[in-house]
Amino acid sequence: MPVKVLLADDTDLQRRSIRSLLESHSEIELVGEAANFPQAMEMSNDLKPQVIVMDLHMPDDAMISPLEVKSLLNSGATGLLVISIWRDQEANVLANSFGAYTLLDKSGLDKKLVPAILAKAKI
């Protein structure tokens, strides 16, 4: 059974690129795409993804608290995987405060995203 993934990124081009990558793997089912955090919250509750792939810095979501992000995991998701162009200490601290199991650099998603999703889902 494929791993159900919800993607949340505010950049349309980035979502399309990630969608293309994920759809090329039969072990993964992309169940939805959100352009902001409120959409991700709603979709997570409705779609029950196993893994949520979320951009760490979505401009419209600057006031989101770590507790709100952690509530995504209460929807039944087994893991929150965050992606960012930043890999500094501040990004790591923020990702950890959100309860993310990993932080991936957007520039390396073509090689690291699918293995990170499958590892969390233990496939």
Q: pLDDT value at position 69?
A: 74
CA 90, 37, 107 angle in degrees (round to 5)? 50
Q: Which two tokens stand for residue 105?
A: 């650099």
Q: Which residues pair with 22 in a beta bridge?
A: none
Instruction: For the full predicted model, state whether its pTM sits above 0.85.
Output: yes
Give the pLDDT confidence of 79-89 residue by residue, as tens digits.
899 999 988 89
Q: Where would I find the beta strands (DSSP E) of 9-119? A: 28-34, 51-55, 79-84, 102-105
Across the chain, which has 123 residues, the per-10-residue mean pLDDT values are 95 96 97 92 89 86 69 72 90 89 93 95 69
